[in-house]
């Protein structure tokens, strides 16, 4: 059963400027696996913006409780490049409290906008 849906959009250029202006922001927001592609290259600004949108969408689906940690929601890609979501720590606890045990994730970026949608299921 669907418990909640979350969606978020991010202006890629604005997000890229924030990352350039504050170098540690990327480390604060993303795990190493999120920051790098499977070949070890840095991810594009579009890809990072979409992953940030996904983290925001997860928070919205959870009702935006205080105390969520950015690294407790991780967007990783399978060998074919399909993104999927893993939760741990604060995010997993909030999901369990709401009866959520399965997530669906869609990411997109085009025309300078990155977007993400998550569906939380019980």
**80 among the known binding-site residues?**
no
Q: pLDDT digit string (tens) for 12-24?
A: 999 999 999 998 9
The pLDDT score that the predictor gives to residue 78 is 85
Question: By residue range, what is the domain housing residue 82?
Answer: 2-121
**20 among the known binding-site residues?**
no
First to last CA, the chain: 5
Q: How far apart are alpha carbons 86 and 107 in whole angstroms?
A: 15
User: 115, 108 in Cβ contact below 8 A?
Assistant: yes
Which pTM value belongs to this model? 0.95
The pLDDT score that the predictor gives to residue 119 is 98
The number of distinct structural domains making up the chain is: 1
Give the mean model confidence (pLDDT) for residues 8-33: 96
């Amino acid at each position: 059963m669907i418990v909640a849906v979350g969606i978020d959009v991010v202006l890629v250029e604005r997000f890229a400027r924030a990352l350039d202006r504050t170098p540690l922001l990327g480390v604060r927001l993303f795990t190493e696996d999120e920051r790098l592609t499977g070949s070890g290259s840095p991810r594009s600004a579009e890809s990072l913006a979409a992953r940030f949108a996904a983290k925001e969408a997860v928070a919205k689906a959870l009702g935006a409780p205080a105390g969520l940690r950015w690294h407790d929601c991780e967007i990783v890609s399978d060998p074919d490049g399909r993104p999927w979501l893993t939760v741990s720590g604060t995010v997993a606890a909030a999901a369990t409290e709401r009866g959520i045990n399965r997530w669906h994730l869609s990411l997109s970026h085009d025309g300078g906008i990155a977007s993400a949608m998550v569906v939380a299921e019980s």
